[in-house]
Amino acid sequence: MEKVREVESLDQSALQGVARMFDVLAEPTRLQILQALAGGPKYVGELCDTLSAKQANVSKQLGILHQAGLVSRERDGLLVRYCVSEPMIFELCSLVCGKLRRDAEARIASMPQARRPRKR
Amino acid sequence: MEKVREVESLDQSALQGVARMFDVLAEPTRLQILQALAGGPKYVGELCDTLSAKQANVSKQLGILHQAGLVSRERDGLLVRYCVSEPMIFELCSLVCGKLRRDAEARIASMPQARRPRKR
DNA sequence: TTGACATATTGCTACGTGGCGATATAGTCA
DNA sequence: TGACTATATCGCCACGTAGCAATATGTCAA
């Protein structure tokens, strides 16, 4: 009930803010970056290596994550270290993963009578 | 720890699935629809009225939400009734709203010394 | 059947943005 | 100062999609 009320009461601009936040999380590259940062802070160059992505693009996506307040940056000489500043994102991903897992299991369970993979 | 591990272990295609789910939630119109459905099932026409949106667009967005497994549809004669089939989305929105609220409060708290709105 | 209605789909345009190469900026060292 | 390095930004192209008007589909009544 509580949450439902909250959702009901969101005005137009709040909705846009929420949509924007989801939009930031709706890019595989940005999710990859967050995933890489889940283990701890990393420099831009390390991220480029880990993701095998171009520096320009990694930097751009980091900028978007930073502007959204999801990561924080810290200069260290020539290098710039980024880290996740909003652990909430892991809860978000966890909820979504749970749903996708349930969907996948349901899809398997409704398969004809082909041999099904063992659970776990 | 638990969640971090989960995030770390997502492979490429799982990441795309997660990104797709966030993408579905990254549209103000679709969030409006979910918001309207939070109070209970509604017919397409009711949603058009509530959102003051064109029928074609509401129908399209409902199709996207349905394909993502977030809403379920049920025919009732000429009408089609939709309802939220994945309550998890309210948790997602709640988490995001919490973050946005904290950000907004932090922004206010760091304002020069202009008069600040009372808390609550 | 036919007509009337609610919803879904199609074809289209306009806009936002991910990724790229090239370049600018900032920091370090000599 | 100038050379060198790591990161950020710019201009661009290609692609996806929200919203629209028009049309198709499905359902009921007569």
Q: Quick one: average pLDDT of A84-100?
A: 96
| Full strand arrangement of the beta sheet holding B42-43 | B42-43, B79-84, B71-76
Q: Quick one: average pLDDT of B100-106?
A: 91
Q: Quick one: average pLDDT of A103-117?
A: 76
Q: Quick one: average pLDDT of A4-24?
A: 83
Contact A28 B6 (CB under 8 A): no
First to last CA, chain B: 34
> Which residues contact residue A95 at a Cβ distance below 8 angstroms, ignoring those fewer than 6 apart?
B88, B91, B92
Per the structure, the residues numbered 3 to 42 in protein chain B that have their CB within 7 angstroms of any atom of strand C are: none
Contact A92 B92 (CB under 8 A): yes
Pairs of residues, one from chain A and one from chain B, whose beta carbons lie less than 8 Å apart: 132
Give the DSSP letter string of A58-99: HHHHHHHHHHTTSEEEEEETTEEEEEES-THHHHHHHHHHHH
B79 touches strand C (CB under 7 A): yes
Closest CA to A92 of A34, A9, A16, A33: A34
**Domains of chain A by start residue, with CATH:** 12-86 (1.10.10.10)
If you ran DSSP here, which 8-state letter would residue A43 be given?
E
Q: What is the pLDDT of residues B5-26, one digit of tens each?
A: 555 578 889 999 999 999 999 9
Q: What is the pLDDT of residues B40-95, one digit of tens each?
A: 999 999 999 999 999 999 999 999 999 999 999 999 999 999 999 999 999 999 99
Q: What is the pLDDT of residue B110?
A: 78
